[in-house]
Structure 1
């Protein structure tokens, strides 16, 4: 189910980050503060016929970036610029087909601290976690933790 917010995010990604268009990234859905992106194998395939590690990293970052973009809009924050400050990734399983990058909400208390800090100082940092799985399998092929910064 693609909501207007999800469709707008996909258009924004393809316009502002043209690589996402070339990668074939699609927004699957934005529900219950969970963002899911589709990463197709074909434009991201490597020499081993699996999804390229750089594309997986990009998909994991985009899931966090997109989550934060949508959540800020819901909170009425339209003046923030989102950047990734730091990221750690692990690749426990190869991805042999299309994949889904998913970012879920952090703890509510962390979100509230982040938002209050941003409103007070015009700058705040939030840790988000993304995972990448195959569409037919919940096994985590990729685990990502990123520090995202929003500033005015």
Structure 2
């Protein structure tokens, strides 16, 4: 989505949102999830390997999947907060690919798959009286920047009950 008008976030805002995640999705605190960077168009989050390790000494697939889902959800949540738009967000569809094992810290990057403007989205959402879907791409990279896992996902944005 075209979010060029969205403000860049500072470290205190990311920390505040990270604490929101810890309170409302407790698994994120156990994973030691950290929000690293947010531009409006992309979000980067990470988690250390130690609390997310499997019996082979690599990242546990469940942790990697969770990190990808949270990363995409958070990218949308932060944008909708920026727009002061009442909403609920749920993942509606995802397809994951596993490219290679990850033996480093987990680093996830979410971005929009399309270049739809927020203004168009908001207009359609307010008129629709129903859910809208937004497609995202999320990848987990190793320390060398190589893709270890990728996810194509659609998130439903739902108008909350009044």
Query: One fold, TM greater than 0.5?
Result: yes
Aligned to 2:103, the other structure's residue is in SS state coil
Match of 1:139 in 2: 146
Pairwise CA RMSD of aligned residues? 1.8
Q: Deviations over 1:42-86 (max 9, x none)?
A: 001001000000110000001100000011112221x20111111
Report the Cα offset of residue 34 of structure 1: 1.4
Q: Considering fraction of residues, name the structure with more strand.
A: 1
- With normalisation by structure 2, the TM-score equals 0.85
1:137–1:12 Cα change, 3 Å: same
Distance 2:56 2:15 in 1: 33
Distance 1:47 1:71 in 2: 37
Q: Is the 8 A contact 2:141 2:148 kept in 1?
A: yes
Q: Deviations over 1:71-103 (max 9, x none)?
A: 1112221x2011111111011011101021111
Mapping 1:56-67, distance limit 5 Å: 56-67=64-75
Computing the radius of gyration from Cα coordinates, the structure with the larger value is 2
Aligned to 2:65, the other structure's residue is in SS state helix
Size of the aligned set, in residue pairs, is: 150
Match of 1:95 in 2: 102
Distance 2:48 2:70 in 1: 14
Q: Deviations over 1:87-133 (max 9, x none)?
A: 11011011101021111233322655433322222421111110001
- With normalisation by structure 1, the TM-score equals 0.90
Q: Considering fraction of residues, name the structure with more helix.
A: 1
Aligned to 1:24, the other structure's residue is in SS state coil
Q: Is the 8 A contact 2:22 2:29 kept in 1?
A: yes
Match of 1:53 in 2: 61
Q: Mind listing any 5+ residue stretches in structure 1 that lack a counterpart?
A: none
Q: Mind listing any 5+ residue stretches in structure 2 that lack a counterpart?
A: 1-8
